[in-house]
Amino acid sequence: PRRQAVLDAIRQTGVKAHTFEVGIFGPERDEILRQARCVINIPFYESARFEQVRVSHCLSLGVPVVSIRYPHTQPPSAYEPCVFWVGPNEVEDFFSGVFQTEAFDRLAQAKLAAFRQTNGQESFEQLLAFALFADAEKERERTSATWTPQLINLSPGTEYKLGWLNIDPDPQGLAD
């Protein structure tokens, strides 16, 4: 309902806003995107998480992006100059004013040029550093957390005991 309200506000300004009921991917999706004057990014989750993949894909195709910015939305700084940021209460003003002017096209070209100048290396380096750190932590846990049983259950049969080392000579038994 929250996302639909934004689309309704856009349509009330006389601007055509299209949505698709099913997922469209690959060349078919990209062709549709290239025909758009812009893509409106409305965060799906209440947390207002910035949809970086969606936005970067559109910008890489040369399609300007207008993104609704809720108080909790925190995009990477590289996206600040590349996207039209509109508050949830500013949608009608933006689409009835800025969007329907020639100035929008000039601003959109400047934002797309800013995106082409961005360098994702810093974000990638941060992601890689985090992944390497997380992997090292998991490896440390795997090597230092060798389980040593304190109790042994011989021939558990149908009586498997949690926390015990269960040993059963019967291959069909419940042995560890």
Beta-strand runs (E) in 24-176: 39-41, 65-68, 84-86, 152-154, 165-167
pLDDT confidence tier of residue 49, bands split at 50, 70 and 90: confident
Residue-wise pLDDT for 95-125, tens only, equals 999 999 999 999 999 999 999 998 767 767 7
Burial 66-77 (b: 16+ CB within 10 A, else e): bbbbbeebebee
Task: Select from 22, 27, 79 the least CA-distant residue to 49.
Answer: 79
How far is 123 from 13, CA to CA, in rounded Å?
A: 37
Tokens of 39: 């893509």
What global pTM score does this model have? 0.69
Our CA angle for 56, 77, 108, nearest 5°, is 55
Q: Spell out where 31-131 has E strands.
A: 39-41, 65-68, 84-86
pLDDT digits (tens, 9 = 90+) for 65-101: 999 999 989 898 899 999 999 999 999 999 999 999 9
Instruction: Please report which helix (H) or strand (E) contains residue 151, including its range.
Output: none
